[in-house]
């Protein structure tokens, strides 16, 4: 995968497949500590304890449609390539937290990518789910929460064709204030 936004998309798709109703995506860029942390947390069915140790194996999957599960192992490989790592915490019936950390200034750290398009794709494809995106860089922060946004829309669907460009612009504007441009 070319950038971190595509890894995030893949992990969130796993959360959706696990029947999550809420997904939180948190990105922290700590320039002083030379760290980037990406967290994806969901309230899905979670991973049974006996399978938790296997989820980073690229040749293990619970899917019946294919024999490999590359998403987590590819993200782990990307993190390790720049002096980081990946942890998965899960409790069956309560959800999962995937946390990847990277050395921020490492030459091999993948760029963040187009998070605005990733978030819009997730929201449009899953309008009944609630997504929270929190991005911190230094002393600045941007938060986009579909729960709050849906409340402001009242009876207008969040995936309405006139709403989607507004969502994309809001996310792009928030990320631009953090120094991310697409």
State if pTM tops 0.85: yes
Q: Is residue 60 part of a domain?
A: yes
Mean pLDDT over each residue of the chain, to the nearest integer: 91
Specify whether the CB–CB gap between 96 and 44 falls below 8 A.
yes
Q: Is residue 135 part of a domain?
A: yes
Q: Is residue 164 part of a domain?
A: yes
Domain that holds residue 14: 4-177
The answer to whether residue 177 scores a pLDDT higher than 60 is: yes
Instruction: Give the CATH number for residue 169.
Output: 3.30.565.10
Q: Is residue 105 part of a domain?
A: yes
Closest CA to 103 of 84, 122, 129: 84
Q: Is residue 182 part of a domain?
A: no
The answer to whether residue 79 scores a pLDDT higher than 90 is: yes
Q: Is residue 152 part of a domain?
A: yes
Q: Is residue 130 part of a domain?
A: yes
| Higher pLDDT pick, 127 / 47 | 127
Q: How many domains does the chain divide into?
A: 1
Specify the 3-state DSSP secondary structure of 126.
coil
pLDDT value, residue 48: 83
Q: In what order do the strands lie in the sheet with 140-145?
A: 85-91, 95-103, 35-42, 22-30, 130-137, 140-145
pLDDT value, residue 68: 41
User: How far is the CA of 115 from the CAs of 5, 94, 168, in angstroms?
Assistant: 6, 27, 10
Specify whether the CB–CB gap between 112 and 180 falls below 8 A.
yes
* Mean of pLDDT values over 77-106: 95
| Least confident span in 20-24, 91-95, 96-100, 165-169 | 91-95
The answer to whether residue 60 scores a pLDDT higher than 70 is: no
Q: Is 128 exposed, middle or buried (0-12, 13-18, 19+ CB in 10 A)?
A: exposed
């Amino acid at each position: 995968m070319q950038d971190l936004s595509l890894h995030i998309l893949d992990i969130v798709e796993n959360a959706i497949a696990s029947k999550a109703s809420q997904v939180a995506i948190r990105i922290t860029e700590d320039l002083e500590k030379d760290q980037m942390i990406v967290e994806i947390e969901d309230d899905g069915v979670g991973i049974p304890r006996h399978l938790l140790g296997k989820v980073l194996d690229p040749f293990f999957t619970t899917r019946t449609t294919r024999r490999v599960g590359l998403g987590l192992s590819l993200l782990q490989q990307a993190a390790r390539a720049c002096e980081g790592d990946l942890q998965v915490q899960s409790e069956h019936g309560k959800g999962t937290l995937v946390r990847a950390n990277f050395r921020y200034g490492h030459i091999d750290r993948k760029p963040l990518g187009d998070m605005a398009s990733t978030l819009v794709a997730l929201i449009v494809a899953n309008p009944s789910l609630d997504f929270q995106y929190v991005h911190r860089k230094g002393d600045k922060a941007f938060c986009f929460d579909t729960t709050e946004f849906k409340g402001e829309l009242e009876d207008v669907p969040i995936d309405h064709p006139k709403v989607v460009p507004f969502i994309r612009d809001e996310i792009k504007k928030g990320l631009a204030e953090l120094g991310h441009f697409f």
